[in-house]
Amino acid sequence: MNEHLIIGLLGTALTEQERVWLKEKPPLGVILFARNIESPEQVKALLAEVRATTGQQTWAAIDEEGGRVNRMPWAPFNNRRHAAEYGVMYERNAGTAIQAVYQDSLAIGEALNELGFTHNCAPVLDLFHPDGHGIIGQRAFGDHVEQVTALATACMRGLQDAGIEAVGKHFPGHGRANADSHVAVPEVDAPLATILSEAESFSRLIPEGLKHIMTAHVIYTDTVKEVATLSPFWVRHVLRDRMNFFGRIWSDDLCMKGVGEDVSSAAQQALQAGCDTLLVCEPEGVRAIYKDL
C-alpha cells in the first residue's frame, strides 16, 4: 500500500514519527500545503530531507492552480489569475489566452522545479456550471469543452516543458456537483450521456500527453451509487477502457468527507476501484493509514 501513497506532512520540518514512516515504509510521494511552507529555502530543505530519509526520488506534489488555490505566498505563485479570467480572455482572443496560460504555467513550473517539486495538481478540467456548488467556480477555465481543453492543454504543456507533471482534475467532472466534497458527499443528477460529453475535456488531453488524472468524490446518480473515486465503473470502465488512459489515476484526498470517515477503508476501496495513486493529505489520516500498514 505505501508505494501508492502521497502523504501530507504535519509542519515545516519532518517530525520524528514522519522520519520513521518515510524510512521504513517510503510513500510514493508527499504533498505540501500552506502549513508546510515558510520560505523558498525551507521548502527546498524539507523536500531534500524527505528524499534523504526515503533514499528515493520521492515525488513532491502541490496545488498551485492560481487564483484562490495557492500555497506559496511569494512570486511567481501569488497574485496569479483565476482560471476563469483566462476564460474571459479566451472569448476575446483565443490565441492570446492560450499563450498567456502557457507562459504562466511555464514560469510556475520552473519555480516549482527549482524548489524540488515534481507534480502540480493542475489543470482543473471541470466545466463551470452556474448552478453548481462554488467549490469549483472561478477555478474552471470555462463552461464548454473546447475552451477548457484549449486552455488546460496550454497549462499542461507549460508545466511539462518546465519538468513538472500536470495532474488533471476532477474526473469525470465536479462542476455540476451540489456540495463541497471536503465536507459532504456531492451528487450530480445529470444523465450519463451529459456527464460523458462534459468529460471530453479529460479524454482530449490524454492523447496530448496528460499522464495523471485525479478523480472526483462525487456520486453521479444516473450510473452507480458510489463516488467516482471508489467506483470501478468510472475508474476502470470509463477512464481506463473507454478513454484509453494508461497513466496514473490519483484519488482526491481520502481524508475528505466525500469518501466517508475511515481513511484506511477508503484507500482500500480506491485501490480496488482502480486508483493507483492515493492522496492522504491530513496528518491524522496519514497516522491512521500507517497504523494499518
What is the per-residue pLDDT for 284? 97
Residues assigned a catalytic role: 182, 252
Instruction: Extract long-range pairs of 88-92: CB within 8 Å, 24+ residues apart.
Output: 90/141, 90/142, 90/147, 90/150, 90/151, 91/147
Write the CB contacts of 156 (distance below 8 Å, at least 6 apart in sequence).
105, 123, 166, 168, 205, 208, 209, 210
Q: What is the dihedral of CA 242, 249, 152, 174, to 10 degrees?
A: 80
Residue with cell 492523447: 207
Q: What are phi and psi of 186, to 5 degrees?
A: -75, 155
Handedness of CA 187, 168, 209, 227 (dihedral sign): negative
Closest CA to 219 of 156, 174, 282: 174
Provide the pLDDT confidence category of residue 91 given band limits of 50, 70 and 90: very high
Query: Residue 159's pLDDT is what?
Result: 98
Per-residue pLDDT tens digits for 104-159? 999 999 999 999 999 999 999 999 999 999 999 999 999 999 999 999 999 999 99
Confidence of residue 281 (pLDDT cuts 50, 70, 90): very high
Mean pLDDT, all residues of the chain: 97
Q: What angle do CA 93, 98, 100 make, to 5 degrees?
A: 95
Which domains, ranges and CATH numbers included, belong to the chain? 2-291 (3.20.20.300)
Partners of 119 in beta bridges: 61, 165
What is the model's pLDDT at position 232? 98
Q: Which of 237, 248, 245, 89 lies closest to 167 in space, CA to CA?
A: 248
Tens of pLDDT, residue by residue over 176-235, are: 999 988 999 999 999 999 999 999 999 999 999 999 999 999 999 999 999 999 999 999
Q: Which residue has the cell 491530513?
A: 282
DSSP 4: G
| Displacement of CA 132 from its chain's centroid (Å) | 19
Which pLDDT does position 11 carry in this prediction? 98
With a threshold of 0.75, does the pTM exceed it?
Answer: yes
